[in-house]
Structures are given as C-alpha cells and as structure tokens.
Structure 1
C-alpha cells in the first residue's frame, strides 16, 4: 500500500512539474519518457504511471495541438505519442487520442511546409499505427481527407524515407478498406504527373498492387502512365512498363495500345516546345534528348516487350498501324535510341508475321531491307540520310490484316 502511494505521489509530482514547467522542463520529461518506455505494452505504461497514464497522454496531446504549428519539441512529442499508440494492449490510449481529434492534428503536420522531413515520417508512422488497428480506423483517416494529405506529402517530400512512409501508408489505406480503395487508386493516378521522379516511381509501383484490389481500371490512368515514358529516370520507366503490362488484361488495353502507337510519332507542336534553357547560348551544352524522343524510344521498347509476350497483342498493334509508326521512329535521326528500339521491335514483327515482312520489304526497297535484316540494332549507324527519309515517309498500311496474321 505504501509502495502504491509513493508511486502515485511521484506521478502527481511529475504532472505538476509538467504543468508549471517551461519548454525545456517539458522537453526533459519527454526525453526521459522516451528513453525509459520504448516498446512497452499498455499495461506496463499504466503501471509506470500508477494507472494514470491517461493524464500524461492528455497533457501531451493538448500541448502538441497548441504548438505543432511552430514546431516546439515536435519531434519528441511525436515520438512520445508513438509509444502510446504502438503499445500492444493499448487500445485505450488510441481511443483517447482519437477522441481529441488526434488524426486531424497528425494530418495537418503532414501539410506543414516548415515541418522537418523526419517529423513528417514520424507523423506517418503514427497514422500507420492507427490504420493497423482495423478497418474503421482506416475509414476514419480517409474521412478526414487523409488520402489527399498523404499523397501530397509523397509528392512534395524531399526525403526518400518520408516518401516511402507515405507510399506504405497509401497502400495500407487501400487494403481491407473497400469503402475508400477507389479513392486511394485515384489518388495514386493523380501522383503520376508529379514533378518528383521518386514519387512517380512509387505511385506506379503502388498502383500495380492497388490495381489488383480495385480490379477495374480507370481510363484516366492511360495518359499520365504513357507520359511516364518521357522520364529520363530508368526506374520510373521500368515501373511504367510493368504497369502497362499488367493493364493489358483490363478494359483500357485498346486505349493504351493506341497511345503507345501514337507515341512512336511525336506531334510536331511538342517538338517545337523545347525547354528554354536548351536554347540559351550562355548555358552549358546539354546532351539530354527531348522528352518526346525519350518517350518515342520507350514506346518502341514497351511495344517490343508486349509483342514478344502476347501474340494477340501483336496482332492488335499491327492493325493500329504500328509497323508504319515504327518505321517513322527508325528514321528519326535526332535520337539514336528511338531508331534502335524501333528497329529491334520491327525485326521481331517481321520475323514472326510474314505479311509484315512482305510489306516492309516493299516499303524499304531491297538495299535498305538487306541492311536492316543484316543488323537491325545497328541500322541507324549504317544507313544514310536518304534511307532515313524513306523510312519516315513510308506508306505501310497492311491490307487484309486479320487474314494475314492467322
């Protein structure tokens, strides 16, 4: 009995010290709590506070709501909160935190421009603790506009750790949450045009997982997904190509194939819109090709992947004048990789479908055709300007396509 009374007295003394203390005093109390309470269970925390842990949690949540805008001890406050919210058998603490609007406070921290990246990562960890407690908690986060807040955090963050936390959070919100899974899916699509290559990569990567959850593909995914092929970052292109392959079994297949074939021939208006810095005589010489040429090469590559893996897809692509556009890409003397990728893909179609071979031989003429067949990958190095012009001006439009491909 005396021991219990002593414990209560110590806790009450600490709480009075907190109430009267300065910022430095509270910071020290938080520091001591964090050091001594890592990985403790709910019952253990209650025992440490003589069954009055809720009194300390209430003070902590009140202080963070008052000071998060200015960042006073924010990192320590978030760490202390994570001890309560991650404690096993600590559902009581979670309920108390939610009752005072804890979710909204955490989401607002994510949107603060002045918040440190590590604090945003810690805030996302808190959200994850809440979401992992069950479906109704995921719904609560989503109802509080959490999908948008987390997606914007992923797009704007400069830290890969924070971005990875946000990506994991979005994936978690999509899983076992049928009421809001489509909103998460749309949020990820909205991230595809992001200015952050890492955010683009993570969005495409997560979409591959979420697509299986929502099942039906949204047509709005096609344009931003094909635009990812303009990226100079190979990891972004890789995820885009993998997602395109996944979507071949969905209703957007036709739309995607048409977009890929169109990407083989960049629109003239887009070619004219060069970044201003490329024309600045005082700027250092830049070797990067125009994004539309990067997309052209990537489209040739992904079409090559698709026709090798799916014969039915190959037939559809040929019907969409894919051969005609591949030859135009082969004649693009401004971008060697476009020429190389298109040549490799066209050689496969030629060797697989006799009707394609017949038509490209007639369009190219014997000399260029022999040069092409001798080494498709190096054709761009071996042909002259007249031959490149022949490729660009080809009129291939394969007749009787369905019968010829059977």
Structure 2
C-alpha cells in the first residue's frame, strides 16, 4: 500500500531527524542507534529498507562506512558497524549499496581490519563474511578484492588465525575468489602453495582442499607444489593426510607425475639421517610421546606414502608399471619390516598385496622371500601380517634386494 503525501513527509522528517541525531551523537548514541537499526532491519529487502529510510538509505550507508573507516583501528563499535553493513551488503539481487560501499573504499577498509594487529577475531570473521558477500556478487567484485592485494591479506589471515570460524571463512573466501576469475587465478594458486608450509593442521587441511579446487581450473601445474605436498604426509592428523593423498590422485595426470611417484617411493625407505634428525628435533613432553605411541613424523610419512601408492596404483594400471620401475616393491618390503611403526607395516602390506594380486609374475618372488607360511598369511589378510612376523623375518624384509625387473621381463617374454 503506497504512502499518502502526508505520511511520506512525516517519514522524511523522521529520517532527517535520525541522520541529524547520528551526526551529532557520540560513540554511545551511535552504538544505541546501530543496535536499534539491527533489530528493526535485519532481513529486510531493498524495497523495505528504502521505505524505512524515505528512499535515502544510501545517506546512512555512507555515514556508516565513513565512521568505520575513521575508527576501526581503535575497535570503536566495530562489531556493530560490520553487522549493520551486512544488512546493506547482503540484500540479494541489488548491487546499488554494494557499489556505493566500494566507491567509499569499503573493501580496502575491510582488508585493513584483517591486517590490523589489534582487531578481534570475531571482527575479523565478520569482515571476512562481508568480503565473501562482495566476492559472491560477481567476477568484477572478485577482481576488485584481488586488485586491492586481497589475496595476500586473506591468506595471511588464514595462516595466522587460531579461531576456527576465521579460518573457515577465509578458506571459503579464497575458493570464492578463484571462481570465474582467470585474471587472478594463478596468484591465488601460488599463494595457496606458499601456505602449505604452515604448521597448523586445520590450515593445512583447508589449504589442501582449496588447492584441489583451484588446480582443477588450471591447465598447467606449478612444480613447487610437490615437495610441500610430500611433506604434508608427516602430519599426525588423518584429515590432513587424506586431503594430501586426494590432491596427489588429482595430480597424476599432470607432468609432475614422475617426480611425485619417485618422491613417494623414496619416502618408503627413510634414511637413518632423517630418522635421527626427527629424533633430535622432536621437542615433545612425555605425555605427548605416549599419546603418539612413540611415533615419529618420518614414520607417519612412510605409512601415508604406502597408502598413497596403493590408492594411485588401484586407480591406474599404467601408473603401477611406473611405480614398479622405480623400485616400489623393494621399498614396500622395507616398510613392512619397520617394527617401529605398525601403521607403516599395515599400509605397506596392503599396497604390496595389490601389486601381487594385479601382477602374478611377482608372486613367486614374494613367496620365496616370505616363506610359504608367512606368504599364505599375507595373501589371506595382509593388514595383520605384522602380527605373524618375528624379528628375523622383519630383518629379512629390511635387507631385501628384490629385483622385480627380471620378473616383469620374464612375464613380457612369456606373453610374446
């Protein structure tokens, strides 16, 4: 129902009075006004908001943006300011407010809030939510965020924050920025690769997930991704290991495949120097060591590498052949003999069982090495082989010199 001229006049007077009160009010008055604004206007459409503000809601948006830009470094009512801005920016299918906010330097202010050392975590999360709203509005808005050095700021926020909500929103925003944004996709990609070296498991998991999304949009690959990706397998968090292995599965069709495969095979046989280095650098309390059951990251990496090799080999027969030429069988046997880490033994046994079942030519070699009784147990239930193995048998596996190339050549000759 449309307003009468008299009602419109009264509404204009009310809005002018509201803006005058804002202009003259101090922190306490404005804080009160923002609380009232949030209560009355949350969830309103653009039409409803304009009706409430006599078609001049933009005048209040401009005041709000300016006040935040002038006071955010002091934290003055910042949470309230950001929530109030959210009402304007989240109005769907209407970008008038969004454009006005951007023209007033709104994106730069939000990025400054993320960079400001004194900003509270909840305010950073709110600022990220607003940037996400901007990013989701379309490609031109994503480009504006990237042009304002947004990728670097958001990445730093993801890396440095200890609050899960902030990390989650920063990650969602990074993924959003990558959609339909070819101009800045490579910058986002490189930034995510840099973040792989971060030690927070949550950050690692989110970064790996984002990398899978971004990599799927790129035709090429940055070779610097391989080393930090292999290092991710040292994580004691299964979620991180699984994300890393899933990314490896994605990368099998790119030209980093030979380097990735040889890297994985090498991890099955950690050097004495690497083991000793981990032992020297582990600074863990006794309670943590008990919690880890004495496990070293280098052995976690060995177990995860075996798991990754099995999953890659199951996906692709041609890839299995490549792994065999890299000495994977000899190294899997070595990992099976690692009595310091049960999970490494289990994963290596499962991987080897796959190769034996898919390539009968190596069965005879395995039977000779393990002995008929142990081999039968291995074929029946490979994941429990470690329970049936004594120290002498483990030592045989550690010192094995299996040459699988002869077996493969023999198989090819017999086929010929």
Q: Same fold (TM over 0.5)?
A: yes
Preserved contact between residue 151 and residue 187 of structure 1 (Cα < 8 Å): yes
1:108 to 112, 117, 128: 112
Asked whether the 8 Å contact 1:142–1:180 carries over to 2, the reply is yes
Looking at structure 1, the residues matched to 225 and 377 of structure 2 have their Cα atoms a distance apart, in angstroms, of 40
Tell me, what secondary structure is at the counterpart of 2:141? helix
Q: Are 1:206 and 2:210 matched, yes or no?
A: yes
User: The residue matched to 2:10 in structure 1 has which SS?
Assistant: helix
* Greater Cα shift, 71-80 or 229-238: 229-238
CA offset digits 1:127-148 (Å, max 9, x no partner)? 1221122211111101111111
TM-score, L = length of structure 2: 0.90
Match of 2:78 in 1: 74
Correspondent of 1:31 among 12, 25, 35 = 35
Query: 2:411 & 2:107 partners in 1: Cα distance?
Result: 59
Q: How far apart, CA to CA, are the structure 2 residues paired with 1:7 and 1:318?
A: 80
In structure 1, C-alpha distance between the alignment counterparts of 2:346 and 2:60, rounded to whole Å? 66
User: Per-residue deviation at 1:117?
Assistant: 2.5
2:261 maps to which residue? Answer: 257
Q: Which moved more, 1:55-64 or 1:82-91?
A: 82-91
CA–CA separation in structure 1 for the residues paired with 2:285 and 2:106: 54
Compared CA separation, residues 404 and 210, structure 1 to 2 (3 A): farther
Matches within 5 A, 1:49-128: 49-88=53-92, 90-128=94-132
* CA distance in structure 2 between the partners assigned to 1:143 and 1:302 by the alignment: 38
- Are 2:193 and 1:189 aligned? yes
Q: Alpha-carbon deviations, 1:105-132, whole Å to 9, x = none?
A: 1011122333233222211121122112
SS of the equivalent of 1:334 reads coil
Q: Deviations over 1:183-204 (max 9, x none)?
A: 2222222222222211111111
Contact in 2 for aligned 1:329/1:339 (Cα 8 Å):
yes
1:214-233 aligned at under 5 Å gives the runs 214-233=218-237
> What RMSD over aligned residues (CA atoms) do the two structures have, in Å?
2.3
Q: Is the 8 A contact 2:330 2:400 kept in 1?
A: yes
- Deviation of residue 300 (structure 1)? 0.9
Match status 1:11 vs 2:43: no
How far, CA to CA, are the matches of 1:190 and 1:23 in structure 2?
Answer: 41
Deviation for aligned residue 1:281: 8.3
Aligned partners of 1:87, 1:163: CA distance in 2, in Å?
Answer: 25
C-alpha distance in 2 between matches for 1:243 and 1:86: 34
**Aligned residue in 2 for 1:152:** 156
Contact 2:361–2:408 (CA under 8 A) maintained in structure 1: no
| Corresponding position: 1:313 with 2:314 | no
Confirm or deny: 8 A CA contact 1:333 1:339 kept in the other structure. Answer: yes
* 8 Å Cα contact 2:189/2:215 also seen in 1: yes
Find runs of 4+ consecutive structure 1 residues off by over 6 angstroms: 279-284
Which of the numbers 278, 282, 291 marks the counterpart of 1:274? 278
Distance 1:148 1:401, change over 3 A: farther
Residue-by-residue CA offset, 1:234-292 (whole Å, 9 max, x unaligned): 11111112111111122222121111111111132221123668677876753411011
Instruction: Confirm or deny: 8 A CA contact 2:37 2:84 kept in the other structure.
Output: yes
Cα distance in structure 2, aligned partners of 1:110 and 1:201: 21
Q: Is the Cα–Cα contact under 8 Å of residues 325 and 405 in structure 2 kept in the other structure?
A: no
Structure 1 residues 133 and 375: CA distance shift in structure 2, 3 A: closer
What is the CA-CA distance between 1:65 and the residue it aligns to?
Answer: 0.9
**Equivalence for 2:344:** 338
1:47 matched residue in structure 2: 51
- CA distance 1:57–1:405, shift in 2 (3 Å): farther
Alignment CA distance shift 1:61-1:401 (3 Å): farther
SS of 1:223's equivalent in the other structure is helix
Secondary structure, in 3 states, of the residue corresponding to 1:69? helix
Equivalent in the alignment of 1:137: 141
Which consecutive unaligned segments of at least 5 residues does structure 2 have? Answer: none
- Cα 1:144–1:10 shift into 2, 3 Å: same
Count of matched residue pairs: 406
User: Distance between the aligned counterparts of 1:241 and 1:133, measured in 2?
Assistant: 33
Q: Does 1:295 align with 2:301?
A: yes
- Gapped regions of structure 1 (runs ≥ 5): none
Q: 1:284/1:360 Cα in 2 relative to 1: closer, same or farther (>3 Å)? A: closer
Higher mean C-alpha deviation, range 101-110 or range 377-386: 377-386
